Amino acid sequence: MAFYHPILFRLDAERAHGLTIASLGAWGKAGTPLAPRVPRLATTVAGIAFPNPLGLAAGVDKDGHAIAGFFGLGFGSVEIGTLTPLAQPGNPKPRIFRLPEDRAVINRLGFNNGGLDGALPRAQSAKRNGILGINVGANKDATDRTADYVHGVTRAAPHADYITINISSPNTPGLRDLQHGAALRELLAACTAAKGTTPIFLKVAPDLDPTDIDDIARAALDNRIDALIVNNTTISRPGLRSANAKETGGLSGAPLASLARQRLADFRKATGAAIPLISVGGIDSGAEAYARLRAGASLVQLYTALVYEGPGLPARILRELDALLKRDGFAKVADAVGVDAR
């Protein structure tokens, strides 16, 4: 990822991403926040008081170098990671590809990160103006992936406002197998036992059939998961036009919007609206964020739209969202959640 700028777009996508994180990390220490707090946008989800419903999705600031900077852009929550027990380099480069004609990105990063021990001290010391989530995963060569997740949950819990279990990345071979049957139930039971009082969220893939959706929903309910993040990147390729469209990896951005809306509806139905849902995929405006809330999302997250819209996007979405809530007579975000799905 890199915020849109003609010079940055001339650079390799991963190098530009690194420069962006470094710049935001520096700015976060002294920069003036771009978005004011708006009382109407405050909301409580899973017992956590969010200053607004707009979150930064995991994968942007994997190692927590720019937490304060992202809060300064206006995000009500920032989710760092995915973090694994041990540092790992991820997949070979190049592994991030812009699709400008589609306003999309394909990545096959493979959980590249500096490990929990590197990032958690930064999470602990970062200036927070919102809610901090920590997204945890398993090392690629782990012989016991459930043990890796339990380790991640245990280590992250003292530093996080919530923890996300990420079993939905398409870039670690076999990882999505944990979304099914006994493996899923064993994982969720072990992680919920390890979390203490910290809320735990589960991030799922969009590439699921109806049986998968029902199974995940039941497992989440049975194990008292606090929220579902719907969804990760997709391995599908819906009508792409860009030169990099045939690259392997997970697709994010505007082309994911339709699938993300459908999965939001699917999981709301499958859970009976008994678990808060966080919608991700193709959110690039206040109008789209508002539509997801009305469709049943309690929170929304974005990532790829920042690449094309720039650092002013979060503040703009919050202004638009506030105006839409006011227009329709909603005193607070929670009043709008699910009104179009009842």
Whether 187 has a pLDDT exceeding 80, the answer reads yes
Q: Which domains does the chain have, with CATH numbers?
A: 8-336 (3.20.20.70)
Tell me the C-alpha distance between 255 and 251, whole Å: 8
Q: What is the mean pLDDT of residues 157-169?
A: 97
Q: What is the mean pLDDT of residues 268-291?
A: 98
- pLDDT tens digits along 282-295: 999 999 999 999 99
Q: What is the mean pLDDT of residues 312-336?
A: 97
Provide the pLDDT confidence category of residue 4 given band limits of 50, 70 and 90: low
Give the per-residue pLDDT at 2. Answer: 54
Whether 6 has a pLDDT exceeding 90, the answer reads no
Whether 302 has a pLDDT exceeding 90, the answer reads yes
What global pTM score does this model have? 0.96
Q: What is the mean pLDDT of residues 69-85?
A: 97
Return the structure tokens found at 55: 């979150």
Give the per-residue pLDDT at 3. Answer: 57
Q: What is the mean pLDDT of residues 193-205?
A: 97
- pLDDT tens digits along 206-236: 999 999 999 999 999 999 999 999 999 999 9
- pLDDT tens digits along 27-45: 887 777 888 788 999 999 9
- Quote the mean pLDDT of the chain: 95
Does the active-site annotation cover 242?
A: no
Percentage with pLDDT > 90 across the chain: 87
Give the per-residue pLDDT at 342. Answer: 80
DSSP string, 192-213: HHHSTTS-EEEEE-S---HHHH
Whether 57 has a pLDDT exceeding 90, the answer reads yes
Give the per-residue pLDDT at 11. Answer: 81
Whether 58 has a pLDDT exceeding 90, the answer reads yes
Tell me the C-alpha distance between 318 and 333, whole Å: 11
- pLDDT tens digits along 141-161: 999 999 999 999 999 999 999
For 37, list phi and psi in degrees, rounded to 5: -80, 135
Burial profile 206-235: b = 16 or more Cβ within 10 angstroms, e = fewer: bbbeeebbbbbbebbeebebbbbbbbbbbb
Give the per-residue pLDDT at 335. Answer: 98
DSSP string, 257-316: HHHHHHHHHHHHHHHTT-S-EEEESS--SHHHHHHHHHTT-SEEEESTHHHHH-TTHHHH
Give the per-residue pLDDT at 203. Answer: 97
Closest CA to 240 of 95, 102, 103: 102
CB 62 within 8 A of CB 285: no
Residue among 77, 169, 242, 298 flagged as catalytic? 169
Tell me the C-alpha distance between 179 and 72, whole Å: 35
List Cβ neighbours of 337 (8 Å cut-off, separation of 6 or more): 293, 294, 296, 297, 298
Whether 97 has a pLDDT exceeding 80, the answer reads yes
Closest CA to 115 of 148, 66, 161, 68: 148
